Structure formats: C-alpha cells, structure tokens
Amino acid sequence: MKVLDLSRRFENNMPVFPGALEVSIEPLSRVAEQGYHVNKVVFNSHTGTHVDAPFHMKADGNTLDQLPAAHFLGEALCITLENPPGSFITLKHLEPFAEAIAKVDFVIFYTGWQKFWGTDAYVEGFPCLNKEAVEWLCSFNLKGIGLDTISVDPMDAEVYTVHHTLFAKNMIIVENLCNLDRLEENTFLFSALPLNITGGDGCPVRAVAIFP
C-alpha cells in the first residue's frame, strides 16, 4: 500500500486566510524539565489543509460530529484543470468526466494553484467553480470535493454560492490540498478525517491519497 500526503505542514507562521487567527504552537512542558512534552496549540478551525462541514455556513447544516466517519473517506477522482488567474471551472470542463464522477465519492481539483502557497498570489485570482458547474456536480452522489486553493468561492464573493450549493447537498469541502501533482493515478482512496468536534464547523485534516 502506498500513501501520499496531501496536507500542508501545521506550524507557526504558516499561511492563514486573510484576517484569520494566526497559528501558535508553544510548549507547556518539556522532557528536560517535567519528563514529558505537551504543547499548547491555538488555531482557527479553517487553518491549513482543512475540511468545511455544512454547519460552516448553514445554520441547520450538519456539524463534524453529526457526520459519520465514513463521510470523510471514499474513492476519489482527481481532475487536472490548470487555468489562468481569475478563471472559472465550468460545466464544459467537467462534462467529459461524467462517467468517472458517477463512480466515485469525491472529486479533487488540481488547478496548479498550490505553487503559490505562502505568497500573496495564493489568495488572489484562484480558479473557482462557476454556478452551473457546481450545480451539475451536485447531481451526482458525492460526499464532497477537494482542491488546492484557499476557497471554493472567490475572495471578493459577497454571497458564497459554491459553499451554500454544496452544503445544501450535505457535501463537505476540503481546501488547501497539496502534492496533487505527485499523484501517479487520477483515482485513489481519499481520506480527510477531522477531529470529532461537537458542534464543529471545520477542522484541519491530514488528507491522504491511498493506493492499494
């Protein structure tokens, strides 16, 4: 079995959504002093590679603890769509993959945007699904989608159309994926298990691609 890590390293000074809480990792105890290591870790629930639960933007949406563990695991298809800045992923891009999408639980989008991680460019002009494309995706029996960008909606969005459309179908969203260019196959077992947080709206995950 081969496992490919699709997650960003969780550390101090890591990139966060503009205006979000900065990550703080500091020791509460040390082996040299107390005989054991314990860290205090402070972060926003949507930091790094993370999952969005429907409750993130839907008042009556399912929280992390209301979704079964199996909802965060399943067969995935990675679609490569390296678009220029400010472009949208459209229905025309997706229709050729209809047969493959019907057989999986997750659709993962490799847009190439992962290369801008840690720069100002990462949060500006990244590709997003347009309304027609996301509504079409919701016609399949998917558990969720994932992508190598900071959000499924544009940074200047006033109404988070893509989030709301996916959440209405009880789908999860995994953002800030990486290493998608290292996938040797475009279908694989995908896992993005979050902590089982009561009332959880989102959580960092150790997302992986698993190949038998």
Domains located in the chain, CATH noted? 2-7+46-211 (3.50.30.50)
Flag residues of the chain having pLDDT under 70: 83-86
Distance (Å, rounded) from C-alpha 46 to C-alpha 157?
Answer: 18
**Cβ pair 29, 37 in contact under 8 A:** yes
Confidence (pLDDT) at 85: 64
CA angle, corner 161, sides to 138 and 68, nearest 5? 50
Phi/psi at 210 (5° precision):
-115, 130
Query: Among candidates 148, 165, 145, which has minimal Cα distance to 157?
Result: 165
Q: Which amino acid is at 51?
A: V
Confidence (pLDDT) at 189: 98
0.75 exceeded by pTM: yes
Distance (Å, rounded) from C-alpha 143 to C-alpha 164?
Answer: 15
Distance (Å, rounded) from C-alpha 111 to C-alpha 98?
Answer: 19
